[in-house]
Amino acid sequence: MRRGVAGNGSAISNPKAAAWNELGGAYWNLDYDGGPSAADCAMYLRGVAPDEPVLLVGASTVRLARAALKRRAALTVADFSSVMLDELRRVLDGRARYLWTDVTCGDVLPRAAFQTVMGDRLINRFTLTEMRAALTRLTLALRPEGQLRLSYRLGLYDRDLPVLEEARRRGQLDDVFDEKAFDVDYGGAGAWLASVLSPHGRIPTDKLVAFYVRRGREHRIRDGDLDAIIQEIGRAQRLRLTTAHAGMDGKPNDRMLIVTRVGRD
């Protein structure tokens, strides 16, 4: 067990964790703006009262962690990357609780414990199978009347377009895009990805390419995907869940999935 960090991190076998371990604090230290904006942070934290238990999944989301602490929320940050957790702990002076765990598997998240569970484009990092698994665990972590607040990008990312175009030109589209599943996987583009990626602040290109390649397969979210999953979870777990999709300031293709766990236990 790492000092000051709970969880089952040493058992993590998800290869995607290595991508984030390799990148570490370069994600926020080298002038790359991975979000969220101040307006987004206000949206995540609307109504959060001092001492309220809040779970943030994603230690890379430093601005939101800071904003939650500024509100004096009782913040827990979960992440499957030990490096991201360590880097965040350094900048927050240990003022939060830390859980080293993969939210797509295992049984580490406490049940019915949090009023708000937040993740900034976390669900875009998942395959559909991972999304179902993570959303089940995150929903079960809500206390009654608690809310999931998870932003997501709808459809393909802008950066996907030149990657898919170059793959098509090379006759390698199937290596990076599963059109039926609507999944992308930059793992198939490692040899030429550098030629089509736009700069991310001052993150060195080789580091960036390794990061995207290691992140592997990700589902691109279509209308209805998330509602179907939440309905499935409600039925399987016998929970009353309501779902809303809020627009996000200045980002036409971004939404916030808001799931409320209705009623008592």
Provide the 8-state DSSP code for 155. Answer: S
| Pick 59 or 193: Cβ nearer ligand SAM | 59
| Pick 86 or 120: Cβ nearer ligand SAM | 120
Residue 81 sits in the site that holds ligand SAM (CB under 6 A): yes
User: Which SS3 state, helix, strand or coil, does residue 1 take?
Assistant: coil
Tokens 């009353």 -> residue? 240
Amino acid letter, residue 215: R
The residue at minimum Cβ distance from ligand SAM is: 58
Residue 186 sits in the site that holds ligand SAM (CB under 6 A): no
Residue 34 sits in the site that holds ligand SAM (CB under 6 A): yes
Residue 234 sits in the site that holds ligand SAM (CB under 6 A): no
Residue 40 sits in the site that holds ligand SAM (CB under 6 A): no
**CB 217, CB 187: distance < 8 Å:** yes
| 76: β partners | 55, 97
* x-or-dash string of contact with ligand SAM, 1-30, rule CB under 6 A: -------------------x----------
* Phi and psi angles of residue 49, each rounded to the nearest 5 degrees, phi first: -100, 160
Q: Name which of residues 87 to 126 contact ligand SAM (CB under 6 A).
A: 102-104, 119-122, 125
* Phi and psi angles of residue 217, each rounded to the nearest 5 degrees, phi first: -75, 135
Least distance in Å: CB of 264 to ligand SAM?
29
| Pick 89 or 167: Cβ nearer ligand SAM | 89
Q: Residue 144's Cα: distance from chain center in Å?
A: 23
Residue 55 sits in the site that holds ligand SAM (CB under 6 A): no
Least distance in Å: CB of 2 to ligand SAM?
15
Strands (E), the chain: 5-7, 53-57, 74-79, 97-100, 114-119, 142-153, 177-178, 183-185, 217-219, 240-248, 251-262
CA-CA-CA-CA torsion sign (187, 188, 189, 191): positive
| Pick 35 or 190: Cβ nearer ligand SAM | 35
| Pick 167 or 256: Cβ nearer ligand SAM | 256
Is residue 112 left, alpha or beta, with left meaning phi > 0 and alpha meaning psi from -120 to 50?
left
Residue 189 sits in the site that holds ligand SAM (CB under 6 A): no
Contact set with ligand SAM (CB under 6 A): 20, 34-35, 57-61, 78-81, 84, 102-104, 119-122, 125
